[in-house]
Amino acid sequence: MADKSVILVTGGTGLVGSAIKYVVENGEKRANEEWVFACSKDGDLSDTDSTRAMFEKYKPTHIIHLAAMVGGLFRNLKYNLDFFRINSKINDNVLAMSHEFKVKKVVSCLSTCIFPDKTTYPIDETMIHNGPPHNSNFGYSYAKRMIDVLNKGYNSMHGCEFTSVIPTNVYGPNDNFDLEDGHVLPGLINKAYCAERDGTEFVIWGTGAPRRQFIYSRDLARLMIWVLREYKEIDPIILSVSEAEEVSIKDAAMSVLKACDFKGKVTFDASKSDGQFKKTASNNKLRKYLPDFKFTPFDQAIKETVDWFVQNYETARK
């Protein structure tokens, strides 16, 4: 990326996009780079003409593609067809315009939920298409899988350098802290904040035993910038902490409570489902490339996220 580079980040104001912006503005930006963080107000990426207009406006040389229609479990269950059709249109338009405008490289963001429902663990990059995803979000999952198919197609037909990353459970500032539709960590943070504020007990749903690999959004941002600059494969790469750094839901909750300075009563509601015990992903491929990459310690990243949420409580998504 020696020449002048214009890097367009779609979905640039969400959890990951805002983390990339933070990292870029705090030392990662290079002198030859111009970064553009686009959001839905800048254009409808599910519409071809609108997507083309965005490309004509910014003339990107590189793209980090984060934009997607997203939602929690119940929204996915209700709108699986919409999730498939809208995300398929978004992804097709972004990659088609990237080819048309001769973009040098595209890095798209997938999700571990795209992996087969019935699989062996740890999951790795070779297993994406080995069986159907979980039925609850098949629309979103298949649309995301098709990015990998498109990447291979554009590379084989046109030599395009289009690739993708697969992060595990992302959390950090600018997350969606909604108690119903948010993910587990931001939900715990919001619940702990409210319990401390209102003097109520803190209830953890389930036994707290399931384990998850959480990746701090700012660590993910640094890794995605590395992928944009250095990673040469078309095949995807999982961006995650190691299996040894998996955290139980109970330990995650305790870290949140410590960061919130919560002094009240903690109980477990074992009548609530635990879900899958583990969904371990292998980060062996990442470690072959970056054996010395340092992830932010979990407790420190949780504290930074809690502090951001408290400071931005009135405007945070919740």
What letter does residue 42 receive in the DSSP assignment? G
User: How many Cα atoms within 13 Å fall on the side-chain side of residue 66?
Assistant: 27
Choose, from 58, 140, 171, 193, the residue flagged as catalytic. 140
Residue 280 tokens, joined: 């371990």
Rounded to whole angstroms, what are the CA distances from 29 to 5, 11, 257? 11, 19, 35
CA distance 269 to 149: 42
Q: How many CB atoms are located within 10 Å of the residue 147 CB?
A: 27
Burial 230-245 (b: 16+ CB within 10 A, else e): ebeebebbbbbbbbee
Q: Which residues contact 30 (CB under 8 A, 6 or more apart)?
A: 1, 5
Burial (Cβ within 10 Å: 0-12, 13-18, ≥19) of residue 2:
exposed
Which pairing describes strands 211-212 and 247-248: parallel, antiparallel, or unpaired? antiparallel
The answer to whether 140 is a known catalytic residue is yes
Backbone angles phi, psi at 112, to 5 degrees: -65, -15
Q: Which residues contact 263 (CB under 8 A, 6 or more apart)?
A: 196
CA distance 64 to 107: 5
| Edge-to-edge strand list for the sheet holding 237-239 | 33-37, 5-10, 62-65, 105-109, 162-167, 237-239
Question: Are the beta carbons of 131 and 117 closer than 8 angstroms?
Answer: yes
- Active site residues per annotation: 140
